[in-house]
A and B are shown apart, each in its own frame.
Chain A
Amino acid sequence: MNQYDAIVIGAGHNGLTNGAYLAKAGLKVAVLERNPYIGGATVSRELHKGWWYSNCSYVSSLLRPEITRDLELPRHGLQVVSFGGGDTFMRNGDYFGNYSDHDRHYREMARHSKRDANAYDRYAADTSLQTKLIRPYLMRTPPDPTSMKPRDLRDLLEFARSFMDLGEEKLLDTIKFWTASVGDYLNEYFETDVIKAHMAGSGIIGTALGVYSPGTAYVLLHHYMGDVDGNVGAWGFARGGMGAIANALSKAFQSYGGEIICDANVDEVIVKGGRVAGVALKDGTEYKAPIVVSNLDPKRTFLDITNPSDLPKDVLKKARNFKIRGSSGKLNIALDGLPVFHGLDPRNRLMAGDLHFSDSLERQERAYDDWKAGTWSKDPYLDMMIPSLTDPTMAPPGKHMMSVFVQYAPPKVEGREWTDEDKDGFEKSVIDQISNYSPNFRDLILHCETRTPREIEAEVGLTEGNIFMGELTFDQLLFNRPFPGYAQYRSPIKGMYMCSSGTHPGGGVMAAPGANAAREILADLKKPNTVPGGYADD
């Protein structure tokens, strides 16, 4: 009865995706979830009566369209509605509006700087070149550069060729881009502080690095490479909150006969004779399966639920050195009405986009300085959304739900655990910043859920509260994710696999790791592949 063909640990979006493709291939699959509800960090929760919070991930773009279509997620209730634009409010009372309409965007940029407005198309073309380079590799297993296997050599050669095809100049630009800081990259195109700061935000979200840390230009790209309905770079809201994605995936999984078991807290992966045999829960229950897939991050997978004696020494060392530093927090706020911001008409559609208050790279770098010193940013970078303006199901009529992502918050405060007083101080620095720009904001607050890395780790199980399940720096990307030699979803234990965002192509609600891992598992089982190939870009 407790015998399955495969067990997936963790019912986040990658665990469910992985389970769905294995079940689709005819395997008897169980997805085990520690919490009483599914979704992991892709979840909607009614934490204040009548208000739904996407209380971890809050916007969607990276979810692979191949998976959306193949698993028929819209039929299972998923609807993603893109939002247009965004806005950075400035200290001088002005703002920069990031309109999605090209001509409107040009006029708004030119209002700040004609030179920047003219540079934008060049910036967009250069950046989308990088997007086009990486997108074909999202639904593929990274080749191992140290391997001599024909498959690896073939994939490496193809990978190298796609770079060589760029030509000398573009190739050198590309190398520079992939190692540059987002600040340096933007400085090459733009001169206006607020414009640079508005764009730089995507380079530091969820990352324990600053706008001037090399590697952050790639993080920017990571936020540009998704799409909503084929509109590359667009972001949207899942109707009903991010939990709608997990719910649709779970229905797809169940439609193939998969089983989800909640309140199942895995204690240990059982290994017998060098092969995985199943898992044991903390309550003593055992589930048996010849395949176990961990959707937990690499640290939890190898240092928490696996017996160290079952692992080679180098893997333990690599897992310990895996960088998964907490750098962000979140406030989810139930509002009695719509807040009004200085300088912007509340009916302006920018209000439905991403709102920020950091109007210079320097302010963002200073926010990072606080993190380095072991405390939360006193003047944080906020990525703030009012999803109820787009999706009325998030709050009662006339009321609003606000999601405030906060960069930076350290995993520990000055080296010790977070206390409730720290959490209050963190919350205050965020509320104060918003209130500086919105006179009626404070009075509208009906309920506020504040999440520091401590809460995110405790509830979702992301080590240190790192939203990407491991930093997106180059030493942990592609064939280096989670670590060199183990980037093809196989753990060192026979029959045990990894499918989390800690594997290629990384975090964000993408579902590609789950699908890629399923393809490798099915290949090892010599079963027909059920995972769709990647779409080619136009």
Chain B
Amino acid sequence: MTDYDAVIIGAGHNGLICASYLAKAGKNVLVLDARAEPGGCASSREFSPGFNVSDCAQWLSQLDRSIVKDLDLASAGLNLGQPKATISLQPDGNHLILDGDTISGAGIDSADQAAYRDFKSMVRSFAKLMTTLYRSRPPKLVEQNWTDRLTLMKLGLGLKLLGRERLRDLMRVVMINIYDVMNEHFSHAALKSTLALDAVTGTNMGPRSLIRSTAICMLLPGNIWHRLVQLRS
């Protein structure tokens, strides 16, 4: 049979999720992929007998849990592990360890810990705001319809709920690069570079180059700032 309601090109995770929702709605859906196995960047491969490797994407942090629930991925065999600590290896063996809200090792003192807690709490409040947006389509700004208007209103409310000081932080922070953000919050060199790593991974820019406007930040989920927010929250 070659007659479908929808054909999806590319059996990566987004193609499969899109197809799942369409199929769940009763549509007759075909997903095509150039490779022999589905998965795209989210695939595993036995690269040597008995040894499996995450073929492309190597860690998970951004997967929307509401989708996991919606599509009941657990009963389809998905078993998500516990959050892992980040370890920044130091030449003297006194490694820097970031585990949840605590940091230790590498001469971290209480001032660094307090700065880290403040930073995390700031990032978390911004992440919360952005999460509401990831679940909507990017709103048009001028040629809005009611869906766009609703998204923009949610955004406006979210901004207001941040409170005055947080909003002021946000007005600056979304516009500056990770190099400056790190220097404003921290003095510990290894801590700065460990946190900044997520902001440069996968981009062709250095730590001084990252800057995105609020609007772009909201319109294009998956940008650098988002990366920073999501990977560490």
Contacts and interface: CB of A to CB of B under 8 A. Distances in A.
Contacts of B167: 145-146, 484
B208 A213 contact: yes
B192 to A, nearest CB: 15
A60 B176 CA distance: 29
Nearest to A163: B141
A45 B180 CA distance: 37
Nearest to B171: A484
A339 B165 CA distance: 56
Interface string A209-220: 100111100000
Interface string A196-228: 000000000000010011110000000000000
Interface string A479-491: 1100111000000
A184 to B, nearest CB: 11
A358 to B, nearest CB: 20
B186 to A, nearest CB: 12
B211 A321 contact: no
Contacts of B84: none
A453 B130 CA distance: 41
A424 interface: no
A480 B142 contact: no
A176 B220 CA distance: 12
A164 B171 contact: no
A361 to B, nearest CB: 14
A372 B208 contact: yes
B104 to A, nearest CB: 26
B190 to A, nearest CB: 18
Q: Give the interface size bracket for A toward B.
A: 20 to 34
A179 B171 contact: no
A490 to B, nearest CB: 15
Contact of B213 (A164, A168, A178): A178
Contact of B211 (A146, A166, A215, A484): A215
Contact of B141 (A171, A314, A473, A484): A171
Interface in B131-157: 140-143
Given A146-B164, A473-B175, A484-B172, A212 B216 contact: no
Contact of A164 (B141, B208, B211): B141
Contacts of B169: 484
A323 B208 CA distance: 13
A268 interface: no
A215 B141 CA distance: 22
A167 interface: yes
B213 A475 contact: no
B142 A175 contact: no
A39 to B, nearest CB: 32
B35 to A, nearest CB: 33
A1 to B, nearest CB: 42
B184 interface: yes
Given A146-B164, A168-B141, A168-B143, A480 B175 contact: yes
A166 B215 CA distance: 15
A474 interface: yes
A494 B143 CA distance: 44
B30 interface: no
Interface string B173-197: 1011100100010000000000000
B124 interface: no
Contacts, number: 72
B209 A212 contact: yes
B175 A484 contact: no
Contacts of A166: 142
B95 interface: no
Interface in A455-482: 473-476, 479-480
Interface string A158-196: 000000101110011001101101000000000000000
B168 A484 contact: yes
Nearest to B166: A146
A171 B213 contact: no
A475 B211 CA distance: 10
Given A146-B167, A168-B141, A321-B184, A474 B208 contact: no
Contacts of B13: none
Nearest to B172: A475
Contact of B172 (A175, A214, A215, A483): A483
Given A474-B175, A480-B175, A484-B172, A179 B142 contact: no
Contacts of B143: 168
Given A175-B215, A323-B180, A475-B175, A168 B209 contact: no
A208 to B, nearest CB: 9
A172 B216 CA distance: 9
A305 to B, nearest CB: 23
Nearest to A320: B184
Interface string B93-108: 0000000000000000
Contact of B171 (A167, A175, A178, A479): A479
Contacts of A209: 208
Interface in B61-107: none
B212 interface: yes
A177 to B, nearest CB: 10
Interface in A486-500: none
A168 B142 contact: yes
Contacts of B213: 175, 178-179, 474
B73 to A, nearest CB: 35
Contacts of A179: 175, 211-213, 216
Contacts of A213: 177, 208-209, 211
B168 A146 contact: yes
B165 A314 contact: yes
A338 B215 CA distance: 51
Given A146-B167, A146-B168, A168-B143, A475 B212 contact: no
B165 to A, nearest CB: 7
Interface hub of A167, A168, A178, A484 (most chain B Cβ within 10 A)? A484
Contacts of A175: 213, 215-216
B211 A473 contact: yes
A474 B103 CA distance: 32
Interface string A300-342: 0000000000000010000001010000000000000000000
A27 B167 CA distance: 37
Nearest to B212: A179
Contacts of B212: 179, 214
Contacts of B216: 175-176, 179
Given A209-B208, A474-B213, A484-B168, 15 more contacts: A145-B167, A164-B141, A168-B140, A172-B141, A179-B175, A213-B209, A474-B175, A474-B176, A474-B211, A475-B171, A475-B180, A480-B175, A483-B172, A484-B169, A484-B171
Interface of A: 145-146, 164, 166-168, 171-172, 175-176, 178-179, 181, 209, 212-215, 314, 321, 323, 372, 473-476, 479-480, 483-485
- Closest 5 A-B residue pairs measured CB to CB? A484-B168, A475-B175, A474-B175, A179-B213, A168-B142
6 contacts: A145-B171, A146-B168, A214-B177, A475-B172, A479-B171, A484-B172
